[in-house]
Amino acid sequence: MKRLLVLALLVAVSAGPGRSAAQEIMAGLSHHAIGITADFAGTEILVFGAVENEGDIVVVVRGPRREVVVRKKAPVFGIWINAQSAIFQSVPGFYGLASTRPLSEIVDADMRRVMEIGIDGLRLEPADMDPSLRDEFRAALIELKQAEGLYPVEPSTVSLAGGRLFRATIALPAGVPVGTYAADTFLIRDGEVVAAQSSPLIVSKAGFGAEIYNFAHRESEFYGIAAVIAAVIAGLAGNLLFRRT
């Protein structure tokens, strides 16, 4: 429901005033599709554009949302085993941000939560959980994502030229998940989002590895049969190659 409201707001601020006058903000991406090949070592996305009037600009690149489970280990008879767990329903697989100034100087915490701007603004709430544990698991989730480089700790900078043209680079690490990303650009004035624009970005596996992955996940039974046949052929080949007379 909340998400729908945000969506409506985004549409309102981007389409509404933009249609009547000139568009307040226009943004583009250096790539709209990224292929993860066998030697993929991360890449950078350039987000650029122009604003009609001065203001602060925040760029957010957000990965596909997925349900994840965070598990906490506890010692049982001297062995560390997974004990408590929390399920988070829609966790962005990646969250990278760039802004013209430190975020806290641009928007207050309430607005950050409404627009999901900044990691502390992300609505990550585990279902059915004790509130005291909720914060602990939320913090653990963010820490794990940060450790993987998927929620960069240091935000990048949006550079403005002549108060009108802006550009920012967001680095995607090697381990980024595949799926549909969104690059959202917000124009903020006096703590209010006055315009926003969203551009899609597709990250997918490419090359031979992608074919294997898709085969394994889409036609699992045939993949299983192929895996067995490949192993049998390899075994027979090895046997023939070194057959002693």
Partner 1 sequence: MFQIYLPIAEMSVDIFLLLGMGGAVGFLSGLFGVGGGFLMTPLLIFIGVPPPVAVGSEVNQVVAASVSGFMAHWRRRQVDFKMGGVLIAGGVLGSVFGVWLFGILRQIGQIDLVISISYVVMLGSIGTLMMVEALRTILRRRSGTTVRRKAHVHHWGHGLPFKMRFRTSRLYISAVLPITLGFVIGILAAIMGVGGGFFLVPAMIYLLGMPVGVVIGTSLFQITFVTATATFLHASSTQTVDVMLAGILTLGAVFGAQFGTRVGAELRGEELRGLLALVVLGVCVTLLWRLVAEPASLYTLSPTGFH
Applying CB under 8 A, which residues contact partner 1? 37-40, 66-75, 78-82, 85, 87, 137, 140-141, 143-145, 147, 174, 205, 209-210, 212-213, 216-217, 220-221, 223-228, 230-232, 234-239, 241-242
In whole angstroms, how close is the CB of 155 to partner 1 at the nearest point?
22
| Identity at 51, one-letter amino acid code | V
Nearer to partner 1, 22 or 174 (CB): 174
In whole angstroms, how close is the CB of 180 to partner 1 at the nearest point?
16
Backbone φ and ψ for 115, nearest 5 degrees, come out as -90, -5
Nearer to partner 1, 30 or 37 (CB): 37
Instruction: In whole angstroms, give the CA distance from residue 130 to residue 243.
Output: 65
Q: CA nearest 98: which of 118, 73, 116, 81?
A: 118
Q: CA nearest 24: which of 182, 188, 201, 199?
A: 188
In whole angstroms, how close is the CB of 138 to partner 1 at the nearest point?
11
Q: 217 and 178 in contact (C-beta within 8 Å)?
A: no
Nearer to partner 1, 29 or 34 (CB): 34
In whole angstroms, how close is the CB of 14 to partner 1 at the nearest point?
32
Sheet containing 25-29: give its strands across. 25-29, 43-51, 165-172, 159-161
